[in-house]
């Protein structure tokens, strides 16, 4: 048998996949609001701004609106966090955080800075480590003003918003230079009420464009409703405009592509009106006088719902248009009295020709309330999306605490959690099936209390020369202790573990927690839902109850040999010179399954050596030489070729010294596509975008397989 020196080839994910994740954050744990307001992605970090409620500092029982700025790494781990006196603009068009002059800027309305009519715009400036640099204030005119966020175009900063009690209603744009001085502030109207002004950006001829949402004004002639795209010069003077009549959802989005085309959202087609229209993206030519196409999103069947609201659009590096937002979809719903339909965040990718390449709906599992009386999935919304350098996507938004967020508010429950979603270019997340509907809850590979796992632990004694290896697994059959079923923990001293005996200890797993049955009642022995600062109290008296474990670090840093990333929690006891212990989701503890929670005093003398799933080695202690590296009895040779470039869009080159006569592409769905061979240059234009395994054959003999990405 040969060692599989290319484990990473078959089983490890691509580096561009390794950092995908799905995480929810509760930054206002004692209050009901945690609203997302802005997303910023740099080359190596993620920043968000959000609204929370803070204690007012004078009375610990009173709360006030305030802001929260958070810095994360590309695994979604929180690195830094600061709160501000500023609460951010409306989450209907969040854009409150930007990078400008190498500073992180966060805008909103201040609670303490002297305010004229309660609507001054305040900007906090930070360095990239969120150290406060200063506060800037830009007074509004003497009229109620709604601030819609900040945009950076070239070397200037633009603040957008609208005055809501003037006629005709007016939008206002402030242009600010690198010294934070106002270059100009100008107002724009559409002859009717302006609900929103947003998305100022550069056109390919060196001018600027933005979009207005326009609605009727009560008591005046019925002006058209819809969207007005306005093109201005760098001095703010109007050059041209385009109006699209649409009675849609009053949330405007504009994207000016590199080639000068204008993309915007709409609800209905230009003509004729389509009953049951589900939402669409329109493409306008650079001259702003002709619509080129209208891409309607799939409605599915009537009972599944689907009415899309777009909240953000970007242009990908390859020219595709990527949008995010929310849509109704109750294909998984439980019937419940008031017939509420939950919304789900979605990401759609469209070619410049208006062809949908991928559409993913993300459903967040509802584990907080009884499913018999509540929806199966929690409502959610993706409000902003960015593309990383490698083509991965970062999206952010909110997930409602309870499926029916109105009901949650009435009951006094917390209403929202901040949501970060990192996907590959097609919207897929490692660890979850990549279907059209992605159900975001733990899948079977993350489970520990199952009969398809086994592991080896090293037990050391006070005599350093004495150590034993113990093997563990769970029973195949379950035991019922009302109201749950449990599996017995089995152990063996034989190498490699052939004679397993029962320990008369019984465990089950639910909602990312592991429970042990005892005659006195069930006890939690692992809880992977804990966050930084949370305390885990030992369930057994052999550890001092006054010395619980406290979570002081969480990450996704452990990459298993099969390519999965697992959540890691580092816990520290409160006793004298405590030793840190690590919990790994789906593996138990790196100090052993039982000792990981029973005592923090023995962790230095016990360790997890090897962990197998379906007899495949997925974890090996870096200090151990006891695990078998061979994970399959099938002998597979190392691939005898390489692919360049990888990823590629139109053509690849096969680099090998061996003549080959057949090329086969295997898609992630398992479909095979055979290509004729004329040279080492292979055309791939017609392949759909996605991940493939490429196999070469020579006279029927395989030369191996390599992973390949078509972009």
- DSSP secondary structure of 19-62: T-EEEEE-S-TTSS--EEEEEEE-SS-EEEEEEEEEE-SS-TT-
- Asked whether residue 363 falls in the same domain as residue 507, the answer is no
Handedness of CA 634, 635, 640, 646 (dihedral sign): positive
Give the separation between CA 693 and CA 705, rounded to whole angstroms.
Answer: 6
- Asked whether residue 464 falls in the same domain as residue 613, the answer is yes
Mean pLDDT of 612-628: 77
- Asked whether residue 59 falls in the same domain as residue 198, the answer is no
Within 10 angstroms of residue 443's Cβ, the number of other Cβ atoms is: 11
- Asked whether residue 160 falls in the same domain as residue 51, the answer is no
The DSSP letter of residue 224 is -
Which pLDDT score, from 0 to 100, does residue 635 have? Answer: 31
Mean pLDDT of 317-331: 88
- Asked whether residue 352 falls in the same domain as residue 459, the answer is no
- Asked whether residue 424 falls in the same domain as residue 495, the answer is no
Give every CB contact of residue 410 below 8 A, 6+ residues apart in sequence.
none
Which pLDDT score, from 0 to 100, does residue 578 have? Answer: 61
Q: Which of 264, 296, 328 is the last residue of a domain?
A: 296
The pLDDT of residue 359 is above 50? yes
Domain presence at residue 144: no
**Cα angle vertex 288, ends 282, 290, to 5°?**
60
| Strands of the sheet with 513-517, listed across from one edge | 523-527, 513-517, 501-510, 484-492, 467-481, 453-460, 606-613, 616-620
The top-scoring range by mean pLDDT among 183-192, 216-225, 319-328 is: 319-328
Which pLDDT score, from 0 to 100, does residue 241 have? Answer: 95
- Write the pLDDT tens digit of every residue in 418-429: 899 999 999 998
- Write the pLDDT tens digit of every residue in 32-80: 667 888 999 999 899 999 888 776 654 455 667 788 899 998 888 888 9
Which pLDDT score, from 0 to 100, does residue 228 have? Answer: 93
The pLDDT of residue 2 is above 90? no
Which pLDDT score, from 0 to 100, does residue 14 have? Answer: 35
Domain presence at residue 474: yes
Span of 213-217, 254-258, 537-541 with lowest mean pLDDT: 537-541
Decide if 98 contacts 124 (C-beta within 8 A): no
Span of 14-23, 263-272, 608-617 with lowest mean pLDDT: 14-23
> Sorting pLDDT into bands at 50, 70 and 90, what band is 490?
very high
| Tally of domains in the chain | 5
Token readout for 143 is 């009229």
Short-list 408, 398, 440, 402, CA closest to 423? 440
Which pLDDT score, from 0 to 100, does residue 605 have? Answer: 66
- Asked whether residue 374 falls in the same domain as residue 462, the answer is no
Domain presence at residue 423: yes
Which pLDDT score, from 0 to 100, does residue 245 have? Answer: 87
What residue numbers bound the domain in which 599 lies? 445-620
The DSSP letter of residue 205 is T
Mean pLDDT of 214-239: 83
Which pLDDT score, from 0 to 100, does residue 575 have? Answer: 56
The top-scoring range by mean pLDDT among 251-255, 290-294, 377-381 is: 290-294
Which pLDDT score, from 0 to 100, does residue 688 have? Answer: 82
Percent above pLDDT 70 for the chain = 74
Question: HEC string of 447-490?
Answer: CCCCCCEEEEEEEECCCCCCEEEEEEEEEEEEEEECCEEEEEEE
CA 664 to chain centre: 33
Domain presence at residue 215: yes
Decide if 422 contacts 76 (C-beta within 8 A): yes
The pLDDT of residue 404 is above 60? no
Decide if 165 contacts 146 (C-beta within 8 A): no
Rg, Å, the chain Cα set: 29
Give the separation between CA 6 and CA 75, rounded to whole angstroms.
Answer: 25
Q: Which helix (H) or strand (E) holds 325?
A: strand 321-329
Q: What is the CATH number of the domain that holds 242?
A: 2.130.10.10
Give the separation between CA 541 and CA 394, rounded to whole angstroms.
Answer: 45
Span of 360-369, 469-478, 518-527 with lowest mean pLDDT: 360-369
Burial grade of 698 (CB within 10 A; 0-12, 13-18, 19 or more): middle
Mean pLDDT of the chain: 78
Q: Which of 414, 441, 468 is the last residue of a domain?
A: 441
Short-list 442, 435, 367, CA closest to 403? 367
- Asked whether residue 173 falls in the same domain as residue 274, the answer is yes
Which pLDDT score, from 0 to 100, does residue 632 have? Answer: 33
- Asked whether residue 175 falls in the same domain as residue 261, the answer is yes
Domain presence at residue 625: no
The pLDDT of residue 600 is above 90? no
Domain presence at residue 256: yes
Whole-prediction pTM: 0.63
The top-scoring range by mean pLDDT among 87-91, 198-202, 337-341, 413-417 is: 198-202
Q: Following DSSP, what letter does each residue of 392-444 receive, concatenated?
A: -EEEEEEEESSSSHHHHHHTT---EEEEEEEE-TTS--TTS--SSEEEES--G
Percent above pLDDT 90 for the chain = 29
The top-scoring range by mean pLDDT among 342-351, 534-543, 643-652 is: 342-351
- Asked whether residue 436 falls in the same domain as residue 480, the answer is no
The top-scoring range by mean pLDDT among 72-76, 208-212, 333-337, 693-697 is: 208-212
- Asked whether residue 330 falls in the same domain as residue 267, the answer is no
> Sorting pLDDT into bands at 50, 70 and 90, what band is 570?
confident
Domain presence at residue 405: yes
- Asked whether residue 384 falls in the same domain as residue 513, the answer is no
The pLDDT of residue 538 is above 60? yes
Q: Which of 253, 268, 296 is the last residue of a domain?
A: 296
Domain presence at residue 207: yes
Q: Which residue has the higher pLDDT, 388 or 628?
A: 388
Short-list 611, 673, 275, CA closest to 474? 611
357 half-sphere exposure, CB direction, 13 A CA radius: 22
> Sorting pLDDT into bands at 50, 70 and 90, what band is 532?
confident
Q: Which residue has the higher pLDDT, 157 or 461?
A: 157
> Sorting pLDDT into bands at 50, 70 and 90, what band is 249?
low
Give the separation between CA 497 and CA 469, rounded to whole angstroms.
Answer: 10
Mean pLDDT of 676-701: 81
């Amino acid at each position: 048998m040969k060692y599989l020196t290319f484990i990473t080839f078959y089983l490890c994910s691509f580096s561009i996949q390794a950092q995908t994740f799905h995480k929810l954050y509760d930054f206002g744990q004692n209050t009901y609001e945690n609203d997302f307001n802005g997303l910023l992605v740099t080359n190596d970090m993620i920043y968000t701004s959000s609204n929370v409620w803070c204690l007012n500092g004078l009375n610990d029982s009173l709360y006030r609106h305030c802001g929260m700025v958070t810095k994360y790494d590309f695994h979604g781990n929180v690195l830094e966090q600061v709160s501000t006196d500023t609460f951010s603009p409306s989450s209907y068009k969040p854009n409150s955080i930007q990078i400008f002059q190498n500073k992180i800027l966060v805008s909103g309305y201040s609670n303490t800075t002297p305010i004229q009519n309660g609507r001054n715009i305040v900007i906090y400036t930070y360095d990239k480590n969120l150290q406060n640099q200063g506060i800037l204030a830009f007074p509004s005119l003497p009229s109620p003003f709604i601030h819609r966020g900040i945009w950076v175009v070239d070397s200037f900063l633009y603040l957008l918003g609208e005055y809501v009690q003037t006629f005709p209603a007016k939008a206002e744009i402030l242009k600010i230079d690198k010294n934070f001085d106002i270059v100009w502030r100008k107002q724009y109207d559409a002859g009717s009420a302006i609900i929103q002004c947003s998305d100022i950006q550069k056109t390919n001829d060196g001018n600027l464009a933005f979009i207005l949402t326009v609605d009727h004004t009560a008591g005046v002639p019925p002006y058209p409703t819809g969207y007005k795209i306005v093109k201005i010069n760098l001095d703010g003077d109007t050059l041209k405009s385009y109006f699209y009549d649409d009675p849609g959802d009053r949330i405007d989005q504009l994207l000016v592509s590199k080639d000068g085309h204008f993309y915007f959202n709409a609800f209905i087609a230009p003509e004729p009106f389509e009953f049951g229209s589900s939402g669409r993206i329109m493409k306008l030519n650079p001259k702003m006088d002709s619509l080129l196409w209208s891409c309607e999103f799939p409605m599915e069947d009537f009972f599944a719902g689907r009415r899309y609201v777009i909240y953000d659009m970007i242009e990908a590096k390859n020219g595709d248009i990527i949008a995010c937002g929310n849509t109704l979809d109750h294909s998984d719903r439980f019937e419940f009295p008031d017939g509420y339909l939950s919304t789900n965040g979605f990401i759609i990718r469209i070619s410049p020709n208006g062809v949908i390449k991928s559409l993913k709906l993300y459903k967040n599992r509802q584990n907080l309330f009884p499913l018999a009386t509540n929806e199966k999935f929690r409502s959610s919304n993706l409000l902003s999306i960015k593309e990383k350098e490698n083509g991965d996507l970062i999206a952010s938004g909110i997930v409602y605490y309870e499926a029916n967020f109105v009901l949650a508010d009435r009951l006094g429950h917390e209403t929202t959690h901040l949501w970060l979603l990192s996907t590959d270019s097609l919207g897929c997340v490692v660890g979850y099936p990549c279907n059209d509907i992605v159900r975001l809850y733990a899948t079977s590979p993350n489970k520990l209390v199952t009969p398809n796992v086994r592991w080896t632990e090293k037990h050391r004694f006070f005599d350093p020369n004495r150590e034993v290896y113990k093997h563990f697994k769970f029973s195949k059959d379950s035991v019922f202790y009302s109201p749950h079923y449990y599996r017995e923990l089995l152990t063996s001293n034989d190498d490699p573990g052939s004679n397993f005996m029962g320990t008369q200890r019984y465990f089950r797993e639910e909602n990312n927690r592991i429970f042990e049955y005892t005659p006195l009642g069930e006890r939690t022995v692992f809880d992977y839902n804990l966050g930084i600062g949370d305390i885990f109290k030992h369930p057994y008296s052999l550890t001092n109850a006054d010395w619980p474990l406290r979570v002081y670090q969480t990450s996704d840093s452990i990459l298993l040999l099969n390519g999965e990333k697992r959540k890691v929690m580092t816990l520290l006891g409160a006793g004298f010179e405590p030793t840190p212990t690590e919990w790994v989701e789906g593996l138990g503890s790196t100090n052993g399954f039982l000792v990981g929670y029973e005592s923090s005093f023995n962790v230095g003398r016990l360790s997890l050596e090897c962990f197998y799933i379906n007899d495949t080695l997925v974890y090996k202690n870096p200090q151990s030489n006891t695990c078998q590296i061979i994970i399959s009895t099938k002998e597979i040779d190392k691939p005898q070729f390489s692919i360049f470039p990888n990823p590629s869009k139109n053509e690849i080159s096969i680099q090998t010294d061996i003549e080959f006569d057949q090329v086969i592409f295997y898609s992630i769905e398992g479909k095979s596509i055979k290509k004729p061979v004329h040279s080492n240059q292979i055309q791939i234009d017609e392949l759909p975008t996605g991940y493939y395994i490429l196999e070469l054959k020579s006279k029927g003999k395989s030369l191996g397989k390599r992973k390949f990405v078509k972009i």
